[in-house]
Amino acid sequence: MAGTESLRQVAHARAPLSAWFGIVLLFALFGVIVLAIVGPSPRRSDYEETRAKKRAENLKTLRDEADKVLTSYAWVDKNKGVARIPIEHAMELTVTDLAKQKPAPAGPIATPETQATAAAGTSPAPASPPAPAGSPRSGGVSPVVSPAAQAPASPSPAAQSSSPSPASPSPTKSP
pLDDT at 16 over 50: yes
Full DSSP string of the chain: -HHHHHHHHHHHHHHHHHHHHHHHHHHHHHHHHHHHHHTTS----HHHHHHHHHHHHHHHHHHHHHHHHHTS-EEEETTTTEEE--HHHHHHHHHHHHHHSPPPPP-----HHHHHHHHHT-SSSPPPPPPPTT----SS---B--TTTPPPSS--HHHHHHSPPPSSPPPB---
Cα 154 to Cα 105: distance, rounded to the nearest angstrom: 10
pLDDT at 99: 93
Question: Alpha carbon 57 to chain centroid distance?
Answer: 27
Contact 151, 165 (CB under 8 A): yes
pLDDT at 116 over 60: yes
The mean per-residue pLDDT over the stretch 98-115 comes to: 83
Contact 114, 148 (CB under 8 A): no
Task: Report the range of poorest mean pLDDT among 94-103, 114-123, 152-161.
Answer: 152-161
CB atoms closer than 10 angstroms to residue 129? 19
Question: Alpha carbon 81 to chain centroid distance?
Answer: 35
